[in-house]
Amino acid sequence: MPTWVQLVNLACAVCFILALKGLSGPRTARAGNLLGAAAAVVAVALPFIYLDLDHVPLILGAIAVGSVAGVVGAQRVQMTQMPQMVALFNGVGGGAAALVALLELHEMLPHEEAHSWFVFAATAFTILVGSISFSGSVITFAKLQELMTSRPVVFPGLPVVFGLSGVAAIVLGVLTVTGPTVTIGVVLALIGLLIGVLLVLPVGGADVPIVISLLNAFTGLTVAASGYVLDNVVLLVAGTLVGASGTFLTMLMAKAMGRSVTNILFGALKGGSTLGAGEASDRPVRSAGPEDVAILLGYADRVIIVPGYGLAVAQAQHTLRELVDVLTARGTKVDYAIHPVAGRMPGHMNVLLAEAQVPYEQLVEMDHINGDFKTTDVVLVVGANDVVNPAAKTSPGAPIYGMPILNADEARQIVFMKRSMRPGFAGIENELLFDPKTTLLFGDAKDSLGKLLSAVKAL
């Protein structure tokens, strides 16, 4: 490899690191994303310049198809479907790495003695983990897209099948190192596909987005291993970054849920996973119309907004921002309380509200705003449920027990905007809905916020 190519690859790797740093803050996220994308384009284009490639028309055709699919998918996806897109794109990355490793295994076999055992081990790892990431990501996509039930799926003997599959994967991995054949590699890939399915099936409800992050880490590690196999430093660095960041994100999300990663993955086998569905409650609640809620908000000195997935579904973020602007103009102090797992993935609410040009200063993380609820006149919960559910603190048997929540129950008045009395993503009832301080405003969030905005303006 020419020296200038190595220097360009090094520059691309540095750009990936700077891009990840840029993504750590909302003000620099767009620039970081563009920097990383530009570095990826350069890294992909580089082999066409210094290598004498075969099948160039096929390669260009594949790049064109993938580019069109990526652009169209990114432009058309709704904010509520962003986690599904992340899962699908992540799965494609893992599957691609596994296929490349299989092809490399085929190419290495005629010259087996020229390669160290570690190269074959890295190849086996890439095939196995890439296959797990692909099939697991497809199942998470199907769950979130409601192509299958979002509840945990278990069957008698699942732990046994999972364990035997793991043992088979280890044996096939060893055989790939000691006596490699393409057939062994293909069977290893099939076992990986099975493990990916069995890994995700028992996960349900609010735990599914955490598994997406875990599978993202798997894909990163797969890409890093394939970078070693292909002797490509850019893949090695990029994969390591994705693997490390995905691992940290998984741990942070699990902490935000008050659960361990092991419990999230296998809790359903002993009844500990979030449920993902539930029946609507018929218990009596106190409800009101937009005019009554407008009075509460219009004469409050301190208001906290708790956004959730329902806000994204209704695409009501622009109307909510306009309502907050009107309240702020009246002298009310308003902030948005952001829970780490509000919505369907970390940062979901931040991106949604940034789209509506909400000032970053008004987005306050849970740890920094929880102490303010005691002095808050009104908490307006828009499409959120589990992140303010007191069961996380008071009900040891609840699937979300131990999860840190926003202390909305400590406010003087709570207003819930809901379409119905169905439970949240965790599938359990929220006792805060029946608190004497709570008022419910039923209806589509966008329609209700529009009426509420008009009522506040009329005060």
- Cβ neighbours of residue 91 under 8 Å, at least 6 residues apart? 133, 134, 135, 136, 137, 138, 141, 215, 219
Beta-carbon count within 10 A of 348 CB: 23
SS3 313: helix
- What per-residue confidence (pLDDT) applies to 279? 60
Answering whether pTM is above 0.85, one says no
DSSP 255-266: HHTT--HHHHHH
> In sequence order, which ranges of 346-400 are alpha helices (DSSP H)?
348-355, 366-369, 391-394
Query: What is the distance between the alpha carbons of residues 455 and 450, in angstroms, rounded to a whole number?
Result: 9
- Which residues are catalytic, by number? 386
Structure tokens at 36: 């990383």
Query: What is the distance between the alpha carbons of residues 254 and 381, in angstroms, rounded to a whole number?
Result: 23
Query: What is the distance between the alpha carbons of residues 262 and 266, in angstroms, rounded to a whole number?
Result: 6
**Of 205, 218, 1, 229, residue with least CA distance to 102:** 229
- What per-residue confidence (pLDDT) applies to 263? 77
Give the containing element (helix H, strand E) for 175: helix 158-178
Is residue 165 within 8 A of residue 198, CB to CB? The reply is yes
Query: What is the distance between the alpha carbons of residues 370 and 408, in angstroms, rounded to a whole number?
Result: 8
Structure tokens at 151: 């509840």
Angle, alpha carbons 22-26-32 (nearest 5°)? 25
Is residue 152 within 8 A of residue 271, CB to CB? The reply is no
Q: Which domains are present in the chain?
A: 77-270 (no CATH), 290-457 (3.40.50.1220)
SS3 199: helix
C-alpha pair distances (Å), 443 with each of 81, 86, 215, 349, 440: 22, 30, 36, 20, 10
Beta 363-365 vs 378-382: how paired, if at all? Answer: unpaired
Query: What is the distance between the alpha carbons of residues 364 and 342, in angstroms, rounded to a whole number?
Result: 13
- What per-residue confidence (pLDDT) applies to 111? 83
Q: What is the dihedral of CA 430, 432, 436, 438, to 10 degrees?
A: -110
Query: What is the distance between the alpha carbons of residues 453 and 161, in angstroms, rounded to a whole number?
Result: 56
The letter for the amino acid at 271 is: G
- What per-residue confidence (pLDDT) applies to 271? 56
Structure-token match 């890994």, residue found? 199
Q: What is the pLDDT along the chain (459 residues), one digit of tens a residue?
A: 788 998 999 999 999 999 999 987 777 888 999 999 999 999 999 999 988 888 899 999 999 999 998 888 888 887 777 788 888 999 999 999 999 999 999 999 888 888 889 999 999 999 999 999 999 999 999 988 888 887 788 888 899 999 999 999 999 999 999 999 999 999 999 999 999 999 999 887 667 878 888 999 999 999 999 999 988 889 999 999 999 989 988 888 887 777 778 877 877 666 555 554 556 666 788 899 999 999 999 999 999 999 988 888 888 999 999 999 999 999 999 999 999 878 777 778 888 888 888 988 899 999 899 999 999 999 999 988 888 999 888 888 777 788 889 999 999 999 999 888 877 666 778 889 999 999 999 998 899 999 999 999 998
Half-sphere exposure of 325 (CA within 13 A, CB side): 11
Query: What is the distance between the alpha carbons of residues 233 and 11, in angstroms, rounded to a whole number?
Result: 11
Residues 74-113 as b or e (16 or more Cβ within 10 Å = b): eeeeebbbbbbbbbbbbbbbbbbbbbbbbebbeebeeeee
- What per-residue confidence (pLDDT) applies to 36? 94
